[in-house]
Amino acid sequence: MKIEPSVKYSHTILSQVIKPGDNVIDATVGKGNDTEFMANLVGNHGHVYGFDLQEEAIKYTKKRLTDKSLINNVDLFNTGHENIHSYVDKPISAAIFNLGYLPGSDKNIITKPETTLSALQDCLNLLSVNGIVIAVIYYGHDGGKEEKNAVLDWAKKLDQKKYTSLQYQFINQIHCPPILLAIQKKSN
């Protein structure tokens, strides 16, 4: 057994939680790694709602999913995740965020504390009991530490009767290894 890095562990958690037929959210589509992973898990009767500010990311992922015949159960929205509440009104079993910037793209387009927190809260509002919201937090870039602190402060204050909140990170690695935050809903 090898202890998994945060990104790999996020997929291990998603694969335990998401069942065929579920509705789920990818709040930061980027190149579509998580979108594709979740589209395979929800199957033909489920649905993935994907959000990204960058048109380039949405176009890239649309092609990727079309090539793999997965696009029929995915809706991709070229808008900020702070608008999730305007696009999704069904209960979800999972949501994932990869915070930071898209590697190989414009490093000035980063996720930001205020909009990230508003989207995380929207996802908790849509979450079914036992469902999980994950944030993989990259914070080595300018502005990253402020966002990391804001998200972890928010997650630490969630009512423990309603949510379990987990922080997972290698602590002896250089270069700010990403933190995985996983929040599970225990009750309504």
What residues line the site for ligand SAM (CB under 6 A)? 28, 30-34, 51-54, 57, 80-82, 98, 100, 102, 109, 111, 115
Smaller CB distance to ligand SAM: residue 21 or 140? 140
Q: Which residue is nearest to ligand SAM (CB)?
A: 30
H helix or E strand, kind and range, residue 145: helix 144-156
Spatial neighbors of 112 by CB under 8 A, at least 6 apart, are 143, 147
CB of 162 closer than 8 Å to CB of 186: yes
145/133 Cα distance (integer angstroms) = 20
For the bound state, the minimum distance from the C-beta of residue 160 to ligand SAM, rounded and expressed in Å, comes to 28
Smaller CB distance to ligand SAM: residue 75 or 130? 75
For the bound state, the minimum distance from the C-beta of residue 82 to ligand SAM, rounded and expressed in Å, comes to 6
For the bound state, the minimum distance from the C-beta of residue 56 to ligand SAM, rounded and expressed in Å, comes to 8
For the bound state, the minimum distance from the C-beta of residue 90 to ligand SAM, rounded and expressed in Å, comes to 19
Smaller CB distance to ligand SAM: residue 43 or 80? 80
Cα–Cα–Cα angle for 135, 139, 144, rounded to 5 degrees: 105
CB of 146 closer than 8 Å to CB of 112: no
Smaller CB distance to ligand SAM: residue 73 or 111? 111
User: Helices H, strands E: what count in the chain?
Assistant: 6, 7
